[in-house]
Amino acid sequence: MKFRRITIFILFFIVFALSIYAENENVVISDSTTAQDESVELRKHNFCHFGYGGSAGMFYHFNREVDGTDLVKSSLGSFYSVSMNYRALEQDNSIYDMAYGLPTINFGVMFGYLSHIKMHGNLPEADYNSHLGNQYTAYLAMHRDFLRKGRWSMGFSMENGISLTTTHYNKHNNVHNRFIGSNFSIYFGAGIYAKYIINPHFDVAMGLNFKHFSNSAMDRPNLGSNLMGIQAYVNYYPSPILTQPRKISYDLPKVKPDFYLDLSVGWEGKTLQEEWNYNETLDLSDPNYFTGHYRVRTLWNTSLAAMFRYNVKYASGLALDYSYSTYSNVINRIQQKEGINGHSAYRHVLGISLRHEVFYKQMSLTMNFGMYPYRHMGTLNKHLIYETVGLRWYPRSWGNFYMSYMVKAHGMRADGLQFNLGYRILRRNKLF
């Protein structure tokens, strides 16, 4: 568990460091006459944004232990994907594309061949191998170069999507699979890569990638599946690529910083670890013993944040978060059955969090890191720190309104899935 958390932290740190590096570097190094001629040639094409890509890679499933038992007996899997690629071009004059050094956006589908990853635990009544199950994923990704020289470039990628698995936890024939507990999972991926332009229509790349699948506690069990591996890419563009890119160093328009309030309301769903733990103690003949069917419990959330938008890409602020739990009585009943006293669960939860938002056109990546001044949720929920991460969508026709989904976690372990509607109050700078 510690290895998983340390690995995730290191990968996030690398991606963050590379993004800061890209802010301060001239990310494309070449200023040849050939590049200028190719740029003029590109402008003659009407369909020069889109291309197609494919990838394949070998991955290692590195979270293995459950309650001190090494469940995973074979760890290697593979991933294959196809995608449609949208590449930002200089002539688009998009302030966001210039701010990100002309990124590539991918809309893709991915197949994870993971069914031969085997698990076997210590349950005497289940003396067989369980399987992880294949993953079918639809995803959205951003690839951003932080260094380019001639035909070579290096960059990092971020991916997010939804996944369907063929084989999840089942107490009858797949009881050792504690990693994927439901048909659907949230997918997150991140990586770094090196790319080479072969000719004006093709480029190839090789990268180190991290992939995570989790149902965000919408069912049990929910340890999540974490994989790390090497992935190779090939991309084709019907219209020519600049094989000798010019130096990219954009003078972005200066914008006036903006202070505003961000108000959101929403629903959060989760299943209870307390119910899973209690069912493990039942008699073997009880139908709820090791069951994989749990009721989704509800929290109603609202949040008010004071935000400071200090440039095109970033806004940061401080938020007051309130939740109303509908399941505190369930926790109290379970603790009463277990003979636990003096740790009652209460409905009201209050949090204070630091918020950071990263914008790209009508989308943003939103992150919160907070602590609870008030939260009483029984013996298993003594966490003082919480984290949320997710995506927001700002439709042009909605004005200051937006919608979002967020994964909430405690100790970097997913503990709920949120869907919110929000409104930005007193926002003055309409350039954003």
Angle at 231 between CA 227 and CA 237, to 5 degrees: 140
C-alpha pair distances (Å), 353 with each of 16, 40, 99, 318, 419: 20, 49, 27, 6, 18
pLDDT value of residue 428: 80
CB 213 within 8 A of CB 168: no
42 DSSP assignment: H
**Residue whose C-alpha is closest to residue 408's, from 222, 216, 156:** 216
Alpha-carbon torsion angle 296, 299, 304, 305, nearest 10: -40
Report residue 396 CA to chain centroid gap. 24
Going along the chain from its start, the domains and CATH numbers come out as 2-236 (2.40.160.20), 258-425 (2.40.160.20)
pLDDT value of residue 264: 98
Angle at 354 between CA 192 and CA 358, to 5 degrees: 40
pLDDT value of residue 24: 41
Strand partners, 76: 60
pLDDT in tens, 98-152: 888 889 999 999 999 999 899 998 887 788 999 999 999 999 999 999 888 888 9
Q: Within 10 A of 48 (CB to CB), how many other CB atoms are there?
A: 18
Low-confidence stretches of the chain (pLDDT < 50) are: 1-6, 8-47, 247
pLDDT value of residue 149: 86
Strand partners, 78: 58, 113
Buried b or exposed e, range 261-283, using 16+ CB within 10 angstroms: ebebebebebbbbbbbebbeeee
